[in-house]
C-alpha cells in the first residue's frame, strides 16, 4: 500500500542505471537473472536500453499499480510514448489504456458481467468439457501440455462463453500474441508477427458486433448494458474485442504455467490430489510463480518521488510484475511453487482499477481443469525438452511435452 | 493491512452552509483509501450505534481522503445530530464501502438536478462531465441561499449552473427543463422525494435509463455494527474461530490454516467471496447490491464482519 512519503513530489536522487535489454531473447527466455539484478539495483532503476524507468520490488510495484492518479495508463501501457513520438502506432485499447473518468463505465460493465456470481452457470459445462478432454488425453502416450491442454481448453470454452461465431476462433491466439508483443519495442518479435496480424485486423474489427454474438453469451450480457443506457454501442463492441484479445493468451499461458509448476515440484501434485479444494490457491500460486503477464508500462502524471528517486512527469515506467511476484522481500523462498503458501495479493493480475477483470473467469477455467486432472492423473512427468514461447509482455511455453500417468 | 480497515479519522470539520458540515476523512495509517467513482457513498458506523450513508463529494484524484457533507436534520434520528454536535476532529469513525448505486454513465449531455444537500453526489459528477467535455447544466435549489452548500465551488462554471432559493424565487420548471433536452441526454437527480417524484413524471417519455436518481431517505440498516468479538464457524472442518473486532475474518481464517484466496483486501475485487450458511453478516464491501446484501448468501471476509454472534461459512 502506498505510504504518503512515496507520493510527495521530491527532488530525489538519480536512479541506478541498468544496461541490459529486458526485451532481448536471452532475458525473455529466462528472465530471472535480470529480475534479480533489477530488484537488487534499487527500488527504481533506469533502463538505458530503452530510456525508461523500471521497478521490480513488490512494495513499489504494487504501490504504483494502485496509484492510477500518479501513474496513468491513458498514455499507453506499452513502451511507445505518444508524448515524445508520433504518430501513435495503434489505437488505444478500449479499457486497458483508459483512465478515469472515461474508464469508469466500461470497467463497471465488465466487472458486472464477469463477477464470480455471474459465472456459476458455466461451471458444470466447463467441468464436463474438462472431463472429456482429460479422458481423451489419458489415452495418449505423450501430450503437449500447451497445444493439447493449455490452448485447447480455453479455446473450447472461452470464445463459446463469449458467444462469438466458431469460424476464425483460432485467429484470436495469433492476434492476441502480436498485440502483447506490440507493448514492447519494435524488435524481431514485432516484425515477425506483423504480416499475419495485419491480415487479421479486418476480421477482428468485425468481432463484438451485437448481431454476431449468441444471445446467451457474455458478449450479449455486455451489450444488454447499452439497453439500460449504461454503455454506448462503441464501448460495448470495444470492450468485447478487448476481452477476446486479453482473455485467451493470458489464460493459455497461465494453464501452461500450472503444468510447468507441478513439473518443477512433483510433491505438490500429491498435495493437490489429497486436497483438491486447494485448486484455486494452486492456480494463483502458479500465476505468482510464473507471472504469465510479465510487464506493463505506466506514465508519470507529474514528478513523483518513489523511495527517494524522482520519476519526472511524462516519463514511462516499466512495472515488472514477474519480478515483484518473486521478490524475496515479500515472499519466502519465492522461486518455489508451494501450495502451502498464501499467494493472495500477488500482482500477477495487476492491482487497483486496472486489475485483470477476467481473473474470475481464468480461475474458474483453471479450477475445473485442475479438479479433473487431480481426479484422474496420478503423476505428471516431463517427456522431452520444453520450448519457451517468446513474447514482449507474456511469458509461456511453446511446447511442454509431458506424460500423464493415470490414477 | 491484515486487520482490515478499522476506521477513518476525522481530519477536518467545517461549517460550509447553515446546518451543513463538511468532513474530510483519512485513514489514520496515512494510506490510500479504496477507489470510488462519482455517485458513490460510504456507510459510517457512528459510535452512537447508528449506520448512515453519505455521498462522497470530494476529489477522487486525491486518494488519501474522502469528503462528505452532512445536513443537520431537524427530525434527525441521531445520525446527523451526532456528526454535528459530537464528532470531533481526530475522532475515529467506522466505515463500510464505498458503494455506488448512482453511477455516472455515458451521455451526449447531462442535466443535473439537486435539491438541498442532494448536491453532494452531483458535485463530483459535474467535475467528471466537465472533464469528459460533455455539455451539462445544473439546476440547484434550496430553501434559502444561506443553507445551500458549495455555492462557492460552483461559481467557476458560470451559467451552466443555475442556483435558486425556493423561498424567494420559487421552484424550477422541471417540465420545461426536461422537454428542452436533446436526444442522448441523461438526467441525474438527488434531492427530496417530492422533487424526484415530479421529475419522474416529466421523464416518463425518455428512453430507459435516461433518468437516474438517488433518494436521500436512506434505509436504516437492519443489523447494527457490533463492537464485540463474534464467532465464525468453518462448516467443512467444524472449526470455530473467535474474531476480535479489530481483526478481519479473512485473517482469522488464514491463521486457522484454511486455504482462502484473497487479492485486494479492500472489498473491491471479489476474489475472497465466501458462501454464508447461517448467521447475519455485517457487509462492508463495495460489490454487493442492497438486494444481494439482504439475501445474505455471500460475503467478503477481507472487510466484512458478523452482525450476529456466530456466522457459519462454507469453508
pLDDT at residue B77 above 80?
no
Residues 282-341 in A contacting B (C-alpha not used; CB under 8 Å): 284
Number of other CB atoms surrounding residue B314 within 10 Å: 11
Query: Would an 8 Å CB–CB cutoff place A174 in contact with chain B?
Result: no
pLDDT by residue (tens digit) across A355-390? 999 999 999 999 999 999 999 999 999 999 999 999
Domains and CATH numbers, chain B: 8-98 (2.40.30.10), 109-215 (3.40.50.80), 230-313 (3.10.20.30)
For residue B95, the SS3 value is strand
Compare B296 and A58 and report the one with higher pLDDT: A58
B145: phi then psi, degrees, rounded to nearest 5: -60, -35
Query: Would an 8 Å CB–CB cutoff place A233 in contact with chain B?
Result: no
pLDDT at residue B187 above 70?
yes
Q: Which of A3, A231, A278 sits opposite B106 (nearest CB)?
A: A231
Q: B interface mutation test: which of A101, A120, A363 has the most B CBs within 10 A?
A: A101
Percentage of chain A surpassing pLDDT 70?
Answer: 96
pLDDT at residue A265 above 50?
yes
Distance from CA of B46 to the nearest CA of A (A): 26
Q: Which of A66, A100, A230 sits opposite B60 (nearest CB)?
A: A100
Q: Chain B residue closest to A235 (CA)? A: B106
Distance from CA of A346 to the nearest CA of B (A): 7
Mean pLDDT to the nearest integer, A295-300: 98
* Nearest-angstrom CA–CA distance, A58 and A206: 40
Res B4: pLDDT:
52
Q: Which of A73-77, A80-84, A174-178, B32-36 has the lowest mean pLDDT?
A: A80-84
For residue A389, the SS3 value is strand
Residue B35 DSSP code: P
Q: Which residues of B touch A281 (CB under 8 A)?
A: 259, 261
Mean pLDDT to the nearest integer, B47-66: 90
pLDDT confidence band for A1 (50 / 70 / 90): very low
* Nearest-angstrom CA–CA distance, A100 and B37: 9
Spacing of C-alpha B201 from chain mean position: 26
Res A11: pLDDT:
52
pLDDT at residue B172 above 90?
yes
Query: Would an 8 Å CB–CB cutoff place A105 in contact with chain B?
Result: yes
A139: phi then psi, degrees, rounded to nearest 5: -80, -5
Percentage of chain A surpassing pLDDT 90?
Answer: 92
Res B73: pLDDT:
87
ipTM: 0.91
Q: Which of A47-61, A68-82, A168-182, B296-310 has the lowest mean pLDDT?
A: B296-310
Give how far Cα B195 sits from Cα of A70, B100, B115, B168, B262, Å. Answer: 40, 21, 7, 18, 43
Res B304: pLDDT:
92
Q: Which residues of A touch B287 (CB under 8 A)?
A: 115
pLDDT at residue A6 above 60?
no
pLDDT confidence band for A10 (50 / 70 / 90): very low
pLDDT at residue B102 above 70?
yes
Q: What is the mean pLDDT of chain A?
A: 94
Inter-chain CB proximity B106 and A235 less than 8 Å: yes
* Nearest-angstrom CA–CA distance, A307 and B14: 34
Res A7: pLDDT:
39
Cell numbers standing for residue A100: 478515469
Q: What is the mean pLDDT of chain B?
A: 91
Count of alpha carbons within 13 angstroms of residue B245, beta-carbon side: 10
Q: Which of B1, B209, B254 sits opposite A229 (nearest CB)?
A: B209
Mean pLDDT to the nearest integer, B64-92: 91
Q: Chain B residue closest to A6 (CA)? A: B31
A313: phi then psi, degrees, rounded to nearest 5: -50, 135
* Nearest-angstrom CA–CA distance, B35 and B66: 10
pLDDT confidence band for B93 (50 / 70 / 90): very high
Mean pLDDT to the nearest integer, B231-245: 93
Which alpha helices (DSSP H) does A275-358 contain, by range?
279-290, 321-324
Q: Chain B residue closest to A231 (CA)? A: B106
* Nearest-angstrom CA–CA distance, A233 and A240: 11
Inter-chain CB proximity A4 and B64 less than 8 Å: yes
Res A90: pLDDT:
63
Q: Which of B31, B128, B270 sits opposite A115 (nearest CB)?
A: B270
Inter-chain CB proximity A104 and B37 less than 8 Å: yes
Compare B220 and A177 and report the one with higher pLDDT: A177
Spacing of C-alpha A330 from chain mean position: 21
Domains and CATH numbers, chain A: 4-406 (1.10.630.10)
Res B260: pLDDT:
92
* Nearest-angstrom CA–CA distance, A283 and A289: 10
Query: Would an 8 Å CB–CB cutoff place A102 in contact with chain B?
Result: yes
pLDDT confidence band for B253 (50 / 70 / 90): very high
* Nearest-angstrom CA–CA distance, B103 and A320: 33
pLDDT confidence band for B217 (50 / 70 / 90): low
CA geometry: angle B284, B290, B295, nearest 5 deg = 90
For residue B92, the SS3 value is strand
Q: Which residues of B touch A343 (CB under 8 A)?
A: 261
Q: What is the CA radius of gyration of chain A?
A: 21
For residue B175, the SS3 value is helix
Q: Chain B residue closest to A226 (CA)? A: B209
pLDDT confidence band for A8 (50 / 70 / 90): very low
Q: B interface mutation test: which of A4, A58, A59, A229 has the most B CBs within 10 A?
A: A229
Query: Would an 8 Å CB–CB cutoff place A227 in contact with chain B?
Result: yes
**3-state DSSP percent of chain B in helix, strand and coil, to 5:** 20, 30, 45
Long-range CB contact pairs, A56-60, < 8 A, 24+: A56/A320, A56/A323, A56/A324, A56/A327, A57/A323, A57/A324, A57/A327, A57/A329, A58/A324, A58/A325, A58/A327, A58/A329, A58/A330, A58/A331, A58/A347, A59/A327, A59/A329, A59/A330, A60/A6, A60/A306, A60/A307
Q: Which helix (H) or strand (E) holds A128?
A: helix A120-138
Q: Which of B103, B262, B287 sits opposite A344 (nearest CB)?
A: B262
Amino acid at each position: 500500500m502506498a505510504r504518503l512519503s512515496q507520493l510527495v513530489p521530491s527532488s530525489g536522487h538519480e536512479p541506478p542505471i541498468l544496461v541490459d535489454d529486458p526485451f532481448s531473447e536471452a532475458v525473455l527466455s529466462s528472465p530471472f537473472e535480470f529480475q534479480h539484478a533489477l530488484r537488487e539495483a534499487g527500488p527504481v532503476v533506469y533502463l538505458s536500453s530503452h530510456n525508461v524507468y523500471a521497478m521490480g520490488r513488490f512494495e513499489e510495484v504494487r504501490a504504483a499499480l494502485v496509484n492510477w492518479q500518479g501513474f496513468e495508463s491513458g498514455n499507453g501501457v506499452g513502451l511507445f510514448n505518444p508524448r515524445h513520438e508520433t504518430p501513435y502506432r495503434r489505437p488505444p485499447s478500449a479499457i486497458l489504456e483508459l483512465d478515469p473518468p472515461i474508464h469508469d463505465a466500461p470497467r463497471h460493465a465488465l466487472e458486472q458481467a464477469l463477477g464470480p456470481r455471474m459465472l456459476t452457470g458455466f461451471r458444470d459445462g466447463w467441468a464436463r468439457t474438462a472431463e472429456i478432454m482429460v479422458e481423451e488425453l489419458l489415452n495418449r502416450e505423450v501430450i503437449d501440455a500447451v497445444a493439447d491442454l493449455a490452448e485447447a481448453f480455453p479455446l473450447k470454452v472461452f470464445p463459446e462463453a463469449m458467444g462469438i461465431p466458431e469460424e476464425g476462433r483460432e485467429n484470436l491466439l495469433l492476434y492476441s500474441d502480436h498485440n502483447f508483443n506490440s507493448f514492447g519495442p519494435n524488435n524481431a518479435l514485432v516484425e515477425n508477427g506483423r504480416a499475419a496480424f495485419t491480415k487479421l485486423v479486418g476480421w477482428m474489427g468485425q468481432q463484438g458486433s451485437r448481431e454476431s454474438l449468441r444471445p446467451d453469451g457474455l458478449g450479449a450480457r455486455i451489450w444488454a448494458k447499452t439497453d439500460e443506457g449504461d454503455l454506448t454501442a462503441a464501448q460495448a463492441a470495444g470492450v468485447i474485442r478487448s476481452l477476446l484479445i486479453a482473455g485467451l493468451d493470458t489464460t493459455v499461458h497461465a494453464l501452461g504455467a500450472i503444468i510447468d509448476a507441478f513439473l518443477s515440484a512433483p510433491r505438490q501434485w500429491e498435495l493437490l490430489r489429497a486436497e483438491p479444494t486447494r485448486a484455486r490457491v494452486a492456480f494463483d500460486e502458479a500465476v505468482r510463480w510464473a507471472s504469465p503477464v510479465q510487464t506493463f508500462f505506466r506514465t508519470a502524471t507529474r514528478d513523483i518521488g518513489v523511495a527517494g528517486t524522482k520519476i519526472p512527469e511524462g516519463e514511462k515506467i516499466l512495472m515488472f510484475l514477474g519480478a515483484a511476484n518473486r521478490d524475496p522481500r515479500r515472499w519466502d523462498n519465492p522461486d518455489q511453487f508451494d501450495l502451502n503458501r498464501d499467494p493472495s495479493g500477488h500482482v500477477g493480475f495487476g492491482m487497483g482499477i486496472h486489475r485483470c477483470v477476467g481473473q474470475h473467469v481464468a480461475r474458474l477455467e483453471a479450477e475445473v481443469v485442475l479438479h479433473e486432472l487431480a481426479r484422474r492423473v496420478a503423476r505428471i512427468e516431463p517427456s522431452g525438452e520444453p520450448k519457451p514461447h517468446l513474447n514482449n509482455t507474456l511469458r509461456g511455453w511453446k511446447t511442454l511435452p509431458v506424460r500423464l500417468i493415470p490414477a | 493491512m491484515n486487520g482490515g480497515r478499522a476506521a477513518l479519522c476525522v481530519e477536518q470539520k467545517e461549517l460550509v452552509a447553515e446546518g451543513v458540515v463538511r468532513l474530510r476523512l483519512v485513514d489514520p495509517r496515512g494510506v490510500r483509501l479504496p477507489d470510488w467513482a462519482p455517485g458513490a457513498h460510504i456507510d459510517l458506523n457512528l459510535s452512537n450505534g447508528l449506520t448512515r450513508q453519505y455521498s462522497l463529494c470530494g476529489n477522487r484524484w486525491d486518494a488519501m481522503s474522502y469528503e462528505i457533507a452532512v445536513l443537520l436534520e431537524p427530525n434527525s434520528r441521531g445520525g446527523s445530530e451526532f456528526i454535528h454536535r459530537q464528532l470531533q476532529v481526530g475522532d475515529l469513525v467506522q466505515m463500510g464501502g464505498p458503494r455506488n448505486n448512482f453511477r455516472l454513465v455515458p451521455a451526449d449531455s447531462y442535466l443535473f438536478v439537486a435539491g438541498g444537500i442532494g448536491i453532494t453526489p452531483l458535485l463530483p459528477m459535474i467535475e467528471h462531465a466537465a472533464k469528459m467535455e460533455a455539455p451539462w447544466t445544473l439546476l440547484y435549489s434550496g430553501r434559502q441561499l444561506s443553507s445551500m452548500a458549495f455555492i462557492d465551488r460552483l461559481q467557476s462554471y458560470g451559467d451552466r449552473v443555475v442556483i435558486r432559493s425556493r423561498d424567494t424565487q420559487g421552484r424550477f420548471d422541471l417540465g420545461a427543463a426536461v422537454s428542452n433536452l436533446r436526444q442522448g441526454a441523461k438526467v441525474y437527480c438527488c434531492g427530496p422525494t417530492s422533487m424526484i417524484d415530479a421529475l419522474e413524471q416529466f421523464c416518463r417519455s425518455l428512453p430507459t435509463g435516461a433518468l437516474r436518481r438517488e433518494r436521500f431517505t436512506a434505509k436504516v440498516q437492519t443489523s447494527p455494527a457490533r463492537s464485540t468479538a463474534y464467532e465464525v464457524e468453518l462448516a467443512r472442518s467444524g472449526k470455530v474461530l473467535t474474531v476480535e473486532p479489530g481483526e478481519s475474518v479473512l485473517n482469522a481464517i488464514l491463521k486457522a490454516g484454511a486455504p482462502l484466496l484473497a487479492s485486494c483486501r479492500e472489498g473491491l475485487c471479489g476474489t475472497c467471496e465466501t458462501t454464508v450458511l447461517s448467521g447475519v453478516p455485517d457487509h462492508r464491501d463495495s460489490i454487493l447490491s442492497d438486494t444481494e446484501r439482504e439475501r445474505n448468501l455471500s460475503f467478503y471476509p477481507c472487510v466484512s464482519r458478523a452482525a450476529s454472534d456466530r456466522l457459519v461459512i462454507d469453508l
